[in-house]
Amino acid sequence: MTKTSGTSDAGPRPVWILQVALLALTLAACTQESTPVPEDPPPVEVVAYTVESGQVPVSSELTGRVVAAVTAEIRPQAGGIVRKRLFTEGSEVEAGQVLYEIDPTSSQTSVRDAEATLSSAKVALASARAKAVRYRELVDIEAVSQESAEEAEAAYQQAVSAVDSAEANLEAARLSLSYANVTSPISGRIGRSSVSEGALVTANQTTALATVQQLNPIYLDATQSATEFLRIRQQFEQGKVKLENGRPVVRLIKDDGSRYDSVGTLELADAIVDETTGTVTVRSLFPNPNNELIPGMYGRIRLEGAVMQNALLVPQVAISRDVKGNALAYVIDDNNTIKERTLTTGQTLGDQWVVESGLQAGERVVVEGLQKVRVGSVVRIAKGTEEAAASSSEISTPSAAE
C-alpha cells in the first residue's frame, strides 16, 4: 500500500516551533539587558545657616499725638460785662496773671451792702450783750424774772449769730468782687479768646473764655495693640526681656521724619483697653524748652534700652510665608533631609528676624537654594558657605545715639 504525503510532513514540525520559541526568549533577554536601571538623583547643593542664640536689643515703635502736660480752661466765676482783655493770643502767661477784667459795679454794690449789714449787726450785738449782762445782775436781786433774763441771753446769742452771718456775706461779696479779675491758674501758652470786650459772661459758663496749656514738659500719647502689649509684658515677666538700666529710653521721631534731640521718659501704660480700638495708651514725657513740640502734632516714639535674652536670629531670606501669612523655614536635619518648620517671628533686626518659637540654637536652615528643594529632599551643604552665610548675616547693635 502506498503512504500519503500528509503523513510524511508531520515529523519535522516540532523542530521549527522550538527554534522560534528559543529566538523569542533570546530577544527578550537582550531587551532586558539593554534597559538602563534609574538611579537616585544627586543631593541638591544648598547654602545653610546655623542658628545661634545671644542677647538682642529690643525696640518698639509706636505712633501717637503730642498732648499738653497741663491744660486749664479759663471760665469766669462771676457774671458781668467784659471790660478788658489783658493778654495777647498765643503768648506766654504766668500763673496768677490777670487775663480779663469784668465790670465790677454789681460786685462792688454787693460788698457795700454786706458791709452795711455787718455794721448794723455789730450795733445790735453790742446792745444785746449789754442787756444780757444787766439782766444777769438784776435776776440775782430778783429785780427781773428768770424768764426775762433768759430771753435777754437768747437775744444776745441771736445777735452773735447775725454778726457771724453778716461777716460771711461780706467775705463772699469781696470774693465775688475779686472774681472780676479773671486770672490764669497755671503758667503756659494761652490760645485764642472766645470773647471780646463788651461781651456778657456768666459765672461758671459752659464755654471757656480761653485755654492755657503748659508745654514744657510735654506728653506724647501713643497707642499699642492690647495683644502686643500683653506679649511684651509676658516676656518681661518670664525674664526673656530685661531692661539694661531699669527704665526704657524713649526717643521721638517727628512727623517730618526728623529725630527730636531730647530723650523722653515712659510715664505710664494704661491698664484699660479701649473697647472700640482694642488698644492701650502709652504715655511718654519730653522736655520742650523751645516749644518745638505743639499739641496735636503726630509723632513716633521708639522704646529702647531692653535686651532679649537667648534670642534666635535668622536671616530674612531663610523665611517664607504661606497663604495664611505663617512664617516657614526649611530645616536640615542630621541626615541632611529637608523638614518644613512653622515659626513665630518677632521684630526685625537689620536683615534678620528674631525667631520666638519653632527653632532651636544649633539647627540649620536653608538660606540659598530654597527653590530647588522640597520636604524630604536630601541636600548637600556647599563647603564654606555655612560660615559665609553666618558672617553675611551679622549686624552691629544700634548705638543709643542713632
pLDDT tens figures, 150-187: 888 899 899 999 999 999 999 999 998 999 999 999 99
Per-residue pLDDT of 104-157, as tens digits, reads 988 889 999 999 999 999 999 899 888 888 888 887 777 778 888 788 889 989
**Percentage of the chain exceeding pLDDT 70:** 82
Domain range holding 313? 50-66+215-392
| Residue 6 burial (CB count, 10 A) | 7
Indicate whether 356 and 222 sit together in one domain: yes
Quick check: bond before 315 cis, omega within 30?
no
Cα(155)–Cα(372) distance, integer angstroms: 111
Cα(238)–Cα(235) distance, integer angstroms: 5
Res. 240: pLDDT tops 80 = no
Residues 92, 216: contact at Cβ < 8 Å?
A: no
Mean pLDDT of 239-266: 82
User: What is the pLDDT confidence band of residue 12, given thresholds at 50, 70 and 90?
Assistant: low
Do the domain assignments include residue 120?
yes
Mean pLDDT of 206-213: 95
Residues 395, 351: contact at Cβ < 8 Å?
A: yes
Indicate whether 235 and 164 sit together in one domain: no
CATH number at residue 384: 2.40.30.170
Cα(390)–Cα(318) distance, integer angstroms: 12
The count of domains in the chain is: 3
Burial degree of 333 (CB within 10 A; 0-12, 13-18, 19+):
exposed
User: Could you give the residue ranges of the DSSP H alpha helices within 102-237?
Assistant: 105-140, 146-178, 226-237
What does the pLDDT read at residue 231? 76
Strand partners, 326: none
Res. 29: pLDDT tops 60 = no
Mean pLDDT of 371-399: 65
Indicate whether 349 and 249 sit together in one domain: yes
What does the pLDDT read at residue 400? 37
Indicate whether 380 and 248 sit together in one domain: yes
